[in-house]
Structure 1
Amino acid sequence: MTALASAAPQTRAASPYRLSFPHLLRSEWIKLSTLRSTWWSIGVVVVLSVGVSLLIAGALTSSAAMAEEAGGTVTIDPIMAVLSPTQFTMLLAGALGAIAITGEYSTGMIRSSLTAEPRRGAVLVSKAVVVAALLGVSSLVVFAISIVATAPILRDTPVDWSDPSASSIPVLYGALAMAVFALIGLSWGFILRNGPGAIAATVGLLFVLPIVSSMFPYGDPSWQWIHDLADHLPMFAAQALMMPGQESSMTGAGMTDAVALLTLGAWVAAGLLGSWAVLRTRDA
């Protein structure tokens, strides 16, 4: 009887513990927040944003003073001084999104992540949520610092908070745009799995392509299709949200808020779907 009992198949009790999605979010937050590169990137964003905002505020004030001396007037949009630096800091947001995942591939930590949570889609979503939330909240803090820093320079034309369309709404759109730029970088990181390559692809999409599109002549019907496509690049869609009524220096077409939001959403969806496809079909 003892021999038969010992030969009987052993059944293993199922573990009562499961890795829930909130736990997965906490895990991704720990991984991202404990990287020195994360806080260095955000620190550079703060310095660059505030510094450029101060320069733009000073330039706007000087232009208004010169116009007044000449008998003219210049309309100053104080919120533009706060949001204009995103044309540069978007690259840092994209780079941060890229290294948030490529660092895991370079160290092999991605294997531990997928072992703890075999559902690869859940890993992708949790990392995207954490990266987007970090950049969105950080951007709001940076914009607040820039508003306070530029207030003494723009004391004659302060931000009109009674008009949300000219104050709080563009700021919220700016934070949303920074989160989108980070998700674009994250998507390239999942797809390419290489830090320099993902950052290069992100810079190409966010910064280089808009410049290339501006090299084609405006007003020529044979090249208009290029400008029509360029209007839907992430940078131009973000500018349409943050600075309504102010046409970009690189593109002459306007874009409604709804179209701009759909454009940014399409870029995020395409990137994350591509990341999900690569993550499911390739080994870690």
Structure 2
Amino acid sequence: MSAVAPAAPALAGGYRLSLPRTLRSEWIKLTTLRSTWWSIAITAALTIGIGVLIAFALTSSGQAPRGLNGIMAVVSPIQFTALLAGILGAIAVTGEYSTGMIRSTLTADPRRGRVLVAKAVVLAVFLFLASLVMFVISAVLVSAILGGHGQSLEWGQPDKVILPVLSASVTMAVCALIGVSFGFLLRSGAGAIAATVGLLFVLPIMSTFFAFAGESWKWVMDAANYLPLSAAQNAILPSDTAPLSAGVAFLTLGAWVAAGLLGSWAVLRSRDA
């Protein structure tokens, strides 16, 4: 007798599990947590507040510096807010492990790969949209401040404003997915947060120590260009003198996400909840 493929589990009322239903479940879990909205509020305050402060600092002399690229004031806070995105991604996963809710999640949907994809998609979309709103508000305020001193953002040129804002929002989503990956890999809130902060913040700082170590240690600086936030800087504000082109920078960010999620999938399949 030939084997029969198992049917998708049926829920009460005749409904069957599907990716859209799992996505909806993950969206409800994420958006009903107070920690999610506290994280978004702090991220928004830093994104908008730092951008406005930089704009005021640039115009404190009474006029904006000539040749100023005002969009830098808008995207500069990402060096700090990306950490919050990564931490939010980590706690979205480890919070379920600490409460035991992950057992209910995997019991409701035994296809662990689908659970991983749903959680990753929800976190990425949520952070992208939230970050996009923050950066647009910051850009409008920064443009108004600089415009009062004779120089505003060049909204008519997509590569000057729109593309950097979109790239910065993508970076926030990438950092959230890195946090998700560490959450599944380590399962510990403290461990996942420490690993996320280490990769996004500590390693780039440590790599700068080798700038004075001579030519024999130059490879460390070259390798550091492929760290997530280093690559993100080249993707957000590309230039001819940047160590990575915009294309290579985006490929690097994609590679970090792919490696993290593949590792998470392997661990999720092989370990008990």
Does the alignment reach a TM-score above 0.5?
yes
Q: Where does residue 254 of structure 2 map in the other structure? A: 265
Does 1:211 pair with 2:200?
no
Aligned length: 260
Which residue identity does 2:103 align to in structure 1?
R
CA distance in 2, matches of 1:88, 1:109: 30
Which residue identity does 1:261 align to in structure 2?
F
Deviation at 1:63, TM superposition (A): 6.3
Deviation string 1:228-262 (CA, Å, 9 cap, x unpaired) is 11000000111001122297xxxxx5211110011
Q: Where does residue 113 of structure 1 map in the other structure? A: 105
Contiguous gaps of at least 5 residues in structure 1? 1-13, 248-252
Q: Where does residue 57 of structure 1 map in the other structure? A: 55
> Conserved in 1, the CA contact under 8 Å of 2:211 and 2:221?
no
Q: Where does residue 45 of structure 2 map in the other structure? A: 47
CA distance in 2, matches of 1:53, 1:220: 36
Moved more, 136-145 or 219-228: 219-228
Q: Where does residue 220 of structure 2 map in the other structure? A: 226
Deviation string 1:25-55 (CA, Å, 9 cap, x unpaired) is 0000000001000000000001111110011
Deviation at 1:119, TM superposition (A): 0.7
CA distance in 2, matches of 1:159, 1:195: 40
Q: Where does residue 3 of structure 1 map in the other structure? A: none
Does 1:20 pair with 2:33?
no
Which residue identity does 1:45 align to in structure 2?
T
CA distance in 1, matches of 2:82, 2:240: 19
Deviation at 1:180, TM superposition (A): 0.1
> Conserved in 2, the CA contact under 8 Å of 1:218 and 1:224?
no
Any idea what SS the aligned residue of 1:181 has? helix
Q: Percent of pairs identical after alignment?
A: 60
Any idea what SS the aligned residue of 2:211 has? coil
CA distance in 1, matches of 2:172, 2:194: 18
2:152 corresponds to which of 153, 158, 178: 158
> Conserved in 1, the CA contact under 8 Å of 2:136 and 2:165?
no
Does 1:125 pair with 2:93?
no
Deviation at 1:62, TM superposition (A): 3.4
CA distance in 1, matches of 2:251, 2:62: 36
CA distance in 2, matches of 1:151, 1:159: 5
Distance change (3 Å), C-alpha of 1:265 and 1:63: farther
> Conserved in 2, the CA contact under 8 Å of 1:124 and 1:276?
yes
TM-score calculated relative to the size of structure 2: 0.91
Any idea what SS the aligned residue of 1:160 has? coil
Which residue identity does 2:220 align to in structure 1?
I
Deviation string 1:128-176 (CA, Å, 9 cap, x unpaired) is 0000000000001001111222233211221112211111111110000
TM-score calculated relative to the size of structure 1: 0.88
2:30 corresponds to which of 23, 29, 32: 32
Deviation at 1:116, TM superposition (A): 0.9
Deviation string 1:98-143 (CA, Å, 9 cap, x unpaired) is 0101000011111111111111000000000000000000001001
1:144 corresponds to which of 136, 147, 155: 136
Deviation at 1:221, TM superposition (A): 1.9
CA distance in 2, matches of 1:102, 1:154: 43
Which residue identity does 2:268 align to in structure 1?
L
1:101 corresponds to which of 82, 85, 93: 93
Any idea what SS the aligned residue of 2:216 has? helix
Contiguous gaps of at least 5 residues in structure 2? 1-8
CA distance in 1, matches of 2:54, 2:212: 28
> Conserved in 2, the CA contact under 8 Å of 1:64 and 1:75?
no
Deviation at 1:204, TM superposition (A): 0.3
